[in-house]
């Protein structure tokens, strides 16, 4: 099965830029997706097809994907962005990364 | 309003069975592929099963293959997960999630709609 690797945690100060990496074999040849999940809530798609934002997702969320690494970037991070973030891609079937807890402190 | 509502979660003994349902509304259910994704307590998301819009293509994660069966009834706008031979490690919140439309290939759309989840606890 296809494996996606994320750092367990990332910390950022309010107003700064947070970057969360997701690595997988030839990930740049696939579309990468990012989900935000807050405690007690269902996941929400925040980036699709590497770098597109669904309607309603703030512009401070952006994405890129090249080589073996996809990156979710949150510019001007706010306290409300504190959450778990999961990357996802399709190989022969969907696969999720292990998740990254973003702490805004 | 586009919505997915799961039901059927319960406390069940190891070795037991359970059937989860996911009711879709607000969109043309028969045009979309669907997934079941679970999350064990304090753990990450785990994809477990996929079914294409017409049910002609089905995939399972290794962890559930041979024990779980995904199905759908497009006339009833419903997705199902039959879970047999349940184990302690199947304890999780189970989500249904919408995937790609039939006009796009797998992997070209994200899981853009999720239900609220239903809780399955496997314990004696």
> pLDDT tens-digit profile of B66-89?
999 999 999 999 999 999 999 999
Q: What is the pLDDT of residue A29?
A: 96
Please say if the pLDDT value at position B101 is more than 90. no
Across A29-39, average pLDDT? 97
Chain A residue closest to B94 (CA)?
A42
Q: Give the number of other CB atoms < 10 A from CB of residue A56.
A: 7
Contact A96 B50 (CB under 8 A): no
Across B37-60, average pLDDT? 97
Contact A99 B47 (CB under 8 A): no
Please say if the pLDDT value at position B17 is more than 90. yes
Cα separation of B19 and B7, whole Å? 9
Across A8-32, average pLDDT? 97
| Chain B residues close to A33, C-beta within 8 Å | 110-111
Nearest to B102 by CA among B61, B72, B76: B72
Distance from CA of B14 to the nearest CA of A (A): 26
Q: What is the largest CA-CA distance in chain A?
A: 39
Q: What secondary structure letter does DSSP report for A8? A: S
Are the beta carbons of B96 and B35 closer than 8 angstroms? yes
Q: What is the largest CA-CA distance in chain B?
A: 45
List for chain B the helix, strand, coil content (%; round to 5): 5, 50, 45
Chain A residue closest to B63 (CA)?
A1
Taking phi first (over 0 means left), then psi (-120 to 50 degrees means alpha), and beta for anything else, what does residue A31 get? beta
Please say if the pLDDT value at position B109 is more than 90. no
Number of H helices, E strands in chain B: 0, 11
Q: What is the pLDDT of residue B102?
A: 85
Q: What is the pLDDT of residue B107?
A: 81
The size of chain A, in residues, is 105
Of A42, A48, A84, the CB nearest to B95: A42
Share of chain B above pLDDT 70, in %: 100
* Residue tagged 């997915």 (tokens): B4
Nearest to A84 by CA among B101, B29, B78, B42: B42
User: What is the per-residue pLDDT across A52-100, written as a single tens digit (0 to 9) for each?
Assistant: 999 999 999 999 999 999 999 999 999 999 999 999 999 999 999 999 9
DSSP collapsed to 3 states, B60-106: ECCCCCCCEEEEEEHHHCEEEEEECCCCHHHCEEEEEEEEEECCCCC
Chain B residue closest to A55 (CA)?
B112
Instruction: Give the pairing of strands B32-39 and B92-101.
Output: antiparallel
Q: What is the pLDDT of residue B62?
A: 96
């Amino acid at each position: 099965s296809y494996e996606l690797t994320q750092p367990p945690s990332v910390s950022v100060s309010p107003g700064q830029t947070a970057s969360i990496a997701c690595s997988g074999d030839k990930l740049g040849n696939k579309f990468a997706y990012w989900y935000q999940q807050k405690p007690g809530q269902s996941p929400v798609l925040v980036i699709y097809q590497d770098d597109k934002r669904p309607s309603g997702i703030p512009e401070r969320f952006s994405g890129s994907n090249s080589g073996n690494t996809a990156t979710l970037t949150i510019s001007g991070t706010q306290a409300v962005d504190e959450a778990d973030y999961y990357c996802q891609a399709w190989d022969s079937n969907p696969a999720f990364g292990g998740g990254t807890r973003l702490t805004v402190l | 309003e586009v919505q997915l509502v799961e039901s059927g979660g319960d406390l069940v003994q190891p070795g037991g069975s359970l059937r989860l349902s996911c009711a879709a509304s607000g969109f043309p259910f028969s045009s979309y592929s669907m997934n079941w994704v679970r999350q064990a307590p304090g753990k990450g998301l785990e994809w477990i099963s996929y079914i294409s819009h017409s049910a002609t293509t089905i995939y399972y994660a290794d962890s559930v293959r041979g024990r779980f069966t995904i199905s759908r009834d497009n006339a009833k706008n419903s997705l199902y997960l039959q879970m047999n031979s349940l184990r302690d490690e199947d304890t999780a919140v189970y989500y249904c999630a919408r995937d790609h439309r039939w006009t796009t290939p797998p992997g070209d759309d994200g899981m853009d709609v999720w239900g609220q989840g239903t809780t399955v606890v496997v314990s004696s």
